[in-house]
Amino acid sequence: MLNEEKIKQVRKQLRTGIPQGEIENELIKEGYTEEDIKKIFIPHRSDMRSWYLFFAIRFLLICLYTVVVNNSFLFLLFSAGLFFVYDQEIKRPKRSSS
């Protein structure tokens, strides 16, 4: 079982440049299970929801302008795609917690 002190030590080793594979092998030798090791090396997932929403609204405004001037709906497709991705990102944390 890993404690907070060991997790901090491993993350400090990662920051100093020790390869992840070497750290994993060292933890296996110390007797930690694969599940414990996976808990340490969870990749960080960025929260991009605000950027998706910002650019979806921006593309929607650009679309309104280009429809009036050029009769073009290209930015409407971009905006709809970004609103869809934003909606999927909103639902993702709810799926993860279940």
pLDDT in tens, 10-25: 889 988 998 989 989 9
- CA dist 11 and 7 (Å) reads 6
The percentage of the chain sitting over the pLDDT mark of 70, rounded to a whole number, equals 93
Query: What are the Cα distances from residue 51, in Å, to 14, 38, 55?
Result: 29, 30, 6
The percentage of the chain sitting over the pLDDT mark of 90, rounded to a whole number, equals 45
Residue/partner pairs of 59-64 with CB below 8 Å, 24 or more apart: none
How many residues are there in the chain?
98
3-state secondary structure of 31: coil
